[in-house]
């Protein structure tokens, strides 16, 4: 077994530590959790897109045998705080809402009551008995309808249905456009899709009646943010009680204030950057004064509360998420509130119909883009106007507002865009919540790479040349993007493009395509290039929202030598398929010189893992968790060697560690193990808790951070009689820095590409014109199977660097770039028919319509 050989594990296809458990059916996903005296929840949901609730009659449901409780919106308003947005940017309106609807429902599936019963099936039986009297209202099913004159307002305080409007200008855009040789303009639309992990959302709220403590078993990407969100929203006290408790526990707010002061002192730029936020917060308060009370209740109450009243979150195996489990859902909050209210453990596992309807939708954006050009194809400037259909209820704690900022900052990609204007509009509609989905900002890459092909065809320049003329090359680095972030010397997007063109034999393509067409075959080839902030250069977050940077915080970890000589890595990451139990162990084992089996990765348990609101997401874990474990393990090694030097009566500098054996160079037989060091550490009076010998607590700010980049090349063949598109070949050339585990990196890339292929050819969340939901089963929402997904060739480029822990994320890129490469290939296949692709969903019907084979 190669894993047993200590030494260089990083960079090898180490087999996953997780697999022995997961491949034998011994995993513990949230639906596998059974706790004593557990009841089951089901939701009563709106069948209407938009309606007023006249009345709810729960009497029959409550009488139904086996029903424990039926809780409505009115009950929830009495026992919880509302969801209140955590984001403050100019032009934002944050709706105030509760986990259950009370007076109005705003999309099909909007929860109006929760039924708790002895089994899920009885809860569903009783749900059928809840009678809701609705008065239907006109629904808003698209952003176009939402912005039309006389459109009904979805939120009282946002009569124009605008949740966010602002504009950013970088440079003298008007002057550049006035002087340009050419301006090319196009509108692109991306349809609504959904993450759809194979495991839906779910939660088991375990109430220990004896102790009053609550453990929340959850499928979440961020255990700590779920914990604090639940605590914050369930802490419904009167203002008087809050203040009284606050005074009784004066030390806590004092400590909090001291902490904030220290943070500000350490980050003077935050004071500066944070100031505009204060103004925005004040404006939000003026618009909706209840917000002040809500925040006061939540914050003050929270600070004063005893620890025992807060839940602890336990996340174990998670069946995928792709972003949607980064949100704290209204259902999770309602189940938590219900369980606490009735004093009994409650399980809720979302079914697939619910997950399709309300479990999180994504994309659904439109961008109007104009590019100013010189006659030789050099880009002079760009204008882009984003309209994002955010659905009714914003995702908590972050969603459309945040992702719109990333779209703006990232739209230049790796290209020289000297000036830019970016207008942002987020619209409310009667649709389900817009959430993070693998590269939530991906529309910037799709639109830019589509637009480059449009420009190339309009200007009769090759699609390779238009990119090569505008992409930033190594000789120009480092250089800032027009939107702020720095492209450092490791940016290799151009190298990936050149390599991909070479692998694809791009120059020979036009002739090959014509030859095939003459033989009756319709072929296309598409190329697309991008960069991804994974995690981005220092200051990246500041470019998104000034003042946000220091609030996100660094990546913490504990690296612990246990009494028995084993090493524990305790991380805030909450892996859900990424294999962190393996990769973080690889990193720690290499630093320490121990076999991988000597390292255990602990995650998902808020009672032991270090605090961070981030969890796993944003392609951050390789760089940040990989980094913090590197440095934490390095620090532990130092302490271990200090003690070992004493025990071996040798100079530290003469010691080496091989396969967990610490010895003087050349005398492995006289070495000692980590257990001996641990025993000595404990003898010396270790201050580490429990059975630990040495505990290192490390934090890492991401260091130089950096970018992942890639170029994808996609080949398609189109049957012009049936509109079916097949993908005979797909090539990825990427650079994510040093690779911890190639099998895991390749798996992330392939999985992302598969989701991109799915979005373009198969998957679409559909509402009809009246806002009725159309895709509630897996026979409507089509996840591609093994037959539909092509084999994917992956080529790695690695730019040499001396930067320690030169790891960058790779989780999202496949999904960001694949729709661009695939739609570019489809346009290429149909270009001889005059087809221009401006939409992303291209099922067989649409292909034949575009090709003029059938009428629209």
Partner 1 sequence: MTTSHLADRASDEPDVDLQPLRFTVNGTLETLEVESRRTLAEVLREELGLTGTHLGCEHGVCGACTVIVDGDAARACLLLAVQVEGASIETIESLADGDDLHPIQEAMREHHGFQCAFCAPGFLMTLKALLDVEPAPTRDQLREELSGNLCRCTGYASILDGACAAVRAIQAGTNNA
Partner 2 sequence: MKMRGFQYHRPSTLDDALALLGEHGDEAKVLAGGQSLVPMMAMRLSSPGQLIDIGAVAGHDAVTEADGDVIIAARVRHATMEASEIVRSAAPLVSAAAPFIGHRAIRNRGTVCGSIAHADPAAELPAVALALDARVVLQSAKDRRVVDAADFFLGYLSTAIADGELLTEVRFPTRAKRSGWSVQEVSRRHGDFALVGTAVQIDLNGSGAVARAGIALFGVGSTPVRIAAAEALLVGHRPTAASWAEAAATVAREVDPLEDNHATSAYRRHVAGVLTRRALEQASARAKAKVKP
- Interface positions with partner 2 (CB under 8 A): 120-121, 124-125, 128, 351-353, 721-724, 762, 764, 766, 774-775, 777, 779-780, 782, 784-785, 787-788, 843-845, 848-849, 853-856
Q: Give the residue among 416, 432, 407, 512 at the shortest CA–CA distance from 50.
A: 432
**Residue 780 partner contact from partner 2, partner 1, none using kind-dependent CB cut-offs of 5 to 8 Å:** partner 2
Instruction: Specify the stretch interacting with partner 1 by CB under 8 A; choose among 292-300, 685-693, 697-705, 752-760.
Output: 752-760
Minimum gap (Å) between residue 786 Cβ and partner 1: 4
Q: How far is the CB of 854 from partner 2 (least distance, A)?
A: 4
Residues 196 and 36: their CA atoms lie apart, in Å, by: 30
Q: How far is the CB of 349 from partner 2 (least distance, A)?
A: 10
Q: How far is CA 572 from CA 150, 358, 438, in A?
A: 48, 27, 20
Task: Tell me the window of 154-162, 195-203, 513-521, 694-702 that interacts with partner 1 (CB under 8 A).
Answer: 195-203
Binds 77: which of partner 1, partner 2, none (CB < 5-8 Å by kind): none
Among partner 1, partner 2, none, what binds residue 755 when CB lies within 5 to 8 Å by partner kind?
Answer: partner 1
Classify residue 670 by its DSSP letter. Answer: G
SS (H, E, C) 429-464: CCCCCECCCCCCCCHHHHHHHHHHHHHHHHHCCCHH
Q: Does 724 bind partner 1 (CB under 8 A)?
A: no
Q: Among all chains, which residue has been given the structure tokens 């629209």? A: 856
Judged by CB, which is closer to partner 1: 201, or 494? Answer: 201
Which of 468, 372, 477, 388 shows the shortest CA–CA distance to 420?
Answer: 372
Residue 335 interface partner, choices partner 2, partner 1, none, CB cut-off 5-8 Å depending on type:
none
Please, are residues 36 and 597 in contact by the beta-carbon 8 Å criterion? Answer: no
Alpha-helical segments (H) within 737-812: 742-761
CB of 790 to partner 1, least distance (A): 9
Which does residue 24 touch among partner 2, partner 1, none (CB within 5 to 8 A, set by kind)?
Answer: partner 1
The item of partner 1, partner 2, none sharing an interface with residue 834, based on CB under 5 to 8 Å by kind, is: none
Tell which positions 379-398 bind partner 1, by CB under 8 A.
none
Binding mask 339-378 for partner 1 (x = CB under 8 A): ------------xx--------------------------
Minimum CB separation from partner 1 for residue 527, in Å? 20
Please count the other Cβ atoms lying within 10 Å of the Cβ belonging to residue 295: 16
Binding mask 306-345 for partner 1 (x = CB under 8 A): -----------xxxx-x-----------------------
Nearer Cβ to partner 1, position 35 or 656?
A: 35
* Longest distance between any two alpha carbons in the chain, whole Å: 87
Residue 456 or 826: the one with the smaller Cβ distance to partner 2 is 826
State the minimum distance, in angstroms, from the CB of residue 117 to partner 1: 9
CA–CA distance, 511 with 266 (Å, rounded to integer): 61
CB 602 within 8 A of CB 588: no
CA distance 212 to 84: 27
Q: How far is CA 357 from the centre of its chain?
A: 19
Number of residues near partner 1 (by CB under 8 A): 60
Applying the rule CB under 8 A, the residues between 772 and 831 that interact with partner 1 are 777-779, 783, 785-787, 789, 791-792
Residue from 4, 24, 240, 518 binding partner 1 (CB under 8 A): 24
Q: Which of 197, 617, 706, 809 binds partner 1 (CB under 8 A)?
A: 197
Give the DSSP H/E element, type plus range, for residue 510: helix 509-518
CB of 794 to partner 1, least distance (A): 10
Question: Residue 360 Cβ, how far from partner 2 at the closest point, in Å?
Answer: 18
Tell me which of partner 1, partner 2, none is bound by residue 754, counting a contact when its beta carbon lies within the kind-specific cut-off of 5 to 8 angstroms. Answer: partner 1
Decide which of partner 2, partner 1, none touches 848; Cβ closer than 5 to 8 Å per partner kind.
partner 2
Please name every residue paired with 471 in a beta bridge, in sequence order, or none if there are none.
415
Q: Is 578 among the residues that bind partner 1 (CB under 8 A)?
A: yes
Which is nearest to 629 in space by CA: 589, 677, 674? Answer: 589
483 alpha carbon, distance to own chain's centre:
22
Residue 723 contact, options partner 2, partner 1, none, Cβ 5-8 Å cut-off depending on partner type: partner 2
- When CB distances are held under 5 to 8 angstroms depending on the partner's kind, the choice from partner 1, partner 2, none that residue 34 binds is partner 1
- Using left for φ > 0, alpha for ψ between -120 and 50, and beta otherwise, residue 577 falls in left
User: C-beta of 191: minimal distance to partner 2 in Å?
Assistant: 12
CB of 589 to partner 2, least distance (A): 41
Query: What's 592-656 look like in SS3?
Result: HCCCHHHEEEECCECCCCCCCCCCCCCCCHHHHHHHHHHHHHHHHHHHHHHHHHHHHCCCHHHEE
Q: Report what 389 binds from partner 2, partner 1, none; CB cut-off 5-8 Å by kind.
A: none
- Tell me if 747 contacts partner 1 by CB under 8 A: yes
Choose the contact partner of 855 out of partner 1, partner 2, none; CB within 5 to 8 A by kind: partner 2
Residue 322's nearest CA partner among 752, 820, 782, 712 is 752
Q: How many helices (H) and strands (E) does the chain have?
A: 26, 28
User: Near partner 1 by CB under 8 A, which window of 8-16, 164-172, 620-628, 764-772?
Assistant: 8-16
Closest distance of CB 20 from partner 1, Å: 7
Decide if residue 579 touches partner 1 (CB under 8 A). Answer: yes
Are the beta carbons of 396 and 81 closer than 8 angstroms? no
Contact at 8 Å (CB) between 226 and 216? yes
Shortest Cβ 814–partner 1 spacing (Å): 8
Among all chains, which residue has been given the structure tokens 């967990």? 660
**Residue 18 DSSP code:** T
Q: Which is nearer to partner 1, 297 or 325 (CB)?
A: 325
Question: What's the closest the beta carbon of residue 735 comes to partner 1, in angstroms?
Answer: 20
Cα 273 from Cα 437, distance rounded (Å): 29
Which of partner 2, partner 1, none interacts with 774 (beta carbon under 5 to 8 A by kind)?
partner 2
Could you give the CA distance from residue 548 to residue 555 in angstroms, rounded to a whole number? 15
Q: How far apart are CA 366 and CA 385, in angstroms?
A: 8
Residue 722 interacting partner from partner 1, partner 2, none (CB closer than 5 to 8 Å by kind)? partner 2
- Nearest distance, CB of residue 124 and partner 2, angstroms: 5
| SS3 per residue for 718-750 | ECCCCCCEEEEEEEEEEECECCCCHHHHHHHHH
In whole angstroms, what is the distance from residue 708 CA to residue 710 CA? 7
Q: Interface with partner 1 includes 16 (CB under 8 A)?
A: yes
Minimum distance from residue 806 beta carbon to partner 1 (Å): 23
* 8 A C-beta contact, residue 645 and residue 672: no
Q: Which is nearer to partner 2, 63 or 121 (CB)?
A: 121
Q: Which does 844 bind (CB under 5 to 8 A by kind): partner 2, partner 1, none?
A: partner 2
* Burial environment of residue 703 by CB neighbours within 10 A (0 to 12, 13 to 18, 19 or more): middle
Side by side, the strands of the sheet bearing 793-796 are 522-536, 706-718, 725-735, 793-796
Positions touching partner 1 (CB under 8 A) are 13, 15-16, 18-20, 22-29, 31-32, 34, 37, 65-66, 118-119, 121-122, 196-199, 317-320, 322, 351-352, 576-579, 743-744, 746-748, 750-755, 777-779, 783, 785-787, 789, 791-792
């Amino acid at each position: 077994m190669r894993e047993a050989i200590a030494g260089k594990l990083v960079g090898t296809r180490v087999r996953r530590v997780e697999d022995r458990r997961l491949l034998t059916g011994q995993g513990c996903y949230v639906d596998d959790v059974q706790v004593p005296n557990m009841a089951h929840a089901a939701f009563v949901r709106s069948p209407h897109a938009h309606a007023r609730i006249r009345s709810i009659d729960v009497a029959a449901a409550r009488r139904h045998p086996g029903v424990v409780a039926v809780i409505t919106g009115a009950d929830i308003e009495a026992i919880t705080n509302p969801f209140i947005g955590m984001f403050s940017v100019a032009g934002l309106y944050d709706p105030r809402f509760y986990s259950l609807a009370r007076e109005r429902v705003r999309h099909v599936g909007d929860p109006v009551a929760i039924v708790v019963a002895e089994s899920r099936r009885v809860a569903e039986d009783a749900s059928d008995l809840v009678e809701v009297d609705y008065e239907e209202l006109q629904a808003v099913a698209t952003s176009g309808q939402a912005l039309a004159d006389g459109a009904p307002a979805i939120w009282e305080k946002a009569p124009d249905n605008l949740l966010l409007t602002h504009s950013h200008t970088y440079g003298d855009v008007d002057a550049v456009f006035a002087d340009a040789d050419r301006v090319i303009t196009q509108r692109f639309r991306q349809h609504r899709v959904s993450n759809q992990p194979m495991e839906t959302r779910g939660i088991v709220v375990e109430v220990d009646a004896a102790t009053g403590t609550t453990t929340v078993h959850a499928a979440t990407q961020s255990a700590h943010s779920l914990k604090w969100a639940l605590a914050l929203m369930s802490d419904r006290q009167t203002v008087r009680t809050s203040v009284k408790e606050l005074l009784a526990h004066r030390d806590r707010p004092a400590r909090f204030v001291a902490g904030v002061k220290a943070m500000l002192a350490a980050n003077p730029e935050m004071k500066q950057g944070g100031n505009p936020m204060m103004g925005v917060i004040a404006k939000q308060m003026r618009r909706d004064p209840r917000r002040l009370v809500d925040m006061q209740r939540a914050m003050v109450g929270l600070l004063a509360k005893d620890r025992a009243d807060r839940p602890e979150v336990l996340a174990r195996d998670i069946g995928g998420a792709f972003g949607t489990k980064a949100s704290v859902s209204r259902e999770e909050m309602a189940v938590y509130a219900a369980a606490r209210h009735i004093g009994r453990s409650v399980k809720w596992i979302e079914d697939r119909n619910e997950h399709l309807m309300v479990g999180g939708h994504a994309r659904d954006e439109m961008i109007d883009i104009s590019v100013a050009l010189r006659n030789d194809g050099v880009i002079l400037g760009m204008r882009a106007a984003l309209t994002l259909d955010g659905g009714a209820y914003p995702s908590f704690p972050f969603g459309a507002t945040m992702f719109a900022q990333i779209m703006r900052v990232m739209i230049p990609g790796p290209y020289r865009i000297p000036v830019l204007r970016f207008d942002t509009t987020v619209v409310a509609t009667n649709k389900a919540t817009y959430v993070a989905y693998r590269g939530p900002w991906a529309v910037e890459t799709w639109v830019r790479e589509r637009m480059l092909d449009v420009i190339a065809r309009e200007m009769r320049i090759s699609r390779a040349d238009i990119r090569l003329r505008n992409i930033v090359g190594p000789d120009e680095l480092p250089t800032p993007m027009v939107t702020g972030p720095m492209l450092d010397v490791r940016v290799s997007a151009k190298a990936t493009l050149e390599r991909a063109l070479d692998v694809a034999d791009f120059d020979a393509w036009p002739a090959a395509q014509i030859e095939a067409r003459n033989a009756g075959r319709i072929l296309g080839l598409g190329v697309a290039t991008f960069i991804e902030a994974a995690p981005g250069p220092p200051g990246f977050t500041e470019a998104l929202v000034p003042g946000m940077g220091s609030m996100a915080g660094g990546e913490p970890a504990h690296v612990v030598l246990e009494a028995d000589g084993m090493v524990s890595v305790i991380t805030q990451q909450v892996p859900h398929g990424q294999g962190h139990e393996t990769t973080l162990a690889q990193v720690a084992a290499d630093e320490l010189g121990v076999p991988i089996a000597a390292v255990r990765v602990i995650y998902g348990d808020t009672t032991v893992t270090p605090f961070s609101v981030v969890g796993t997401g944003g392609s951050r874990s390789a760089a940040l968790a990989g980094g913090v474990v590197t440095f934490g393990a390095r620090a532990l090694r130092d302490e271990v060697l200090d003690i070992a030097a004493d025990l071996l009566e040798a100079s530290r500098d003469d010691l080496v560690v091989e396969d967990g054996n610490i010895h003087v160079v050349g005398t492995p037989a006289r070495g000692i193990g980590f257990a001996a060091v641990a025993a000595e550490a404990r003898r010396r009076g270790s201050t580490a808790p429990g059975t630990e010998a040495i505990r290192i607590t490390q934090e890492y700010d991401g260091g130089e951070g950096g970018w992942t980049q890639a170029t994808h090349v996609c080949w398609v063949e189109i049957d012009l009689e049936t509109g079916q598109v097949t993908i005979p070949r797909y090539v990825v050339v990427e650079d994510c820095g040093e690779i911890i585990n190639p099998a895991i990196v390749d798996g992330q890339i392939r999985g992302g590409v598969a989701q991109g292929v799915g979005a373009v050819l198969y998957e679409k969340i559909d509402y009809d014109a009246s806002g009725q939901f159309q895709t509630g089963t897996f026979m409507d929402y089509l996840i591609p199977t093994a037959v539909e997904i092509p084999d994917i060739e992956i080529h790695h480029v690695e730019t040499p660097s001396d930067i320690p822990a030169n790891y960058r994320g790779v989780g999202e890129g496949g999904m960001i770039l694949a729709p661009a490469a695939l739609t570019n290939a489809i346009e290429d296949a149909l270009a001889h028919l005059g087809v221009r692709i401006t939409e992303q969903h291209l099922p067989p019907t649409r292909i034949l319509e575009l090709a003029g084979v059938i009428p629209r």
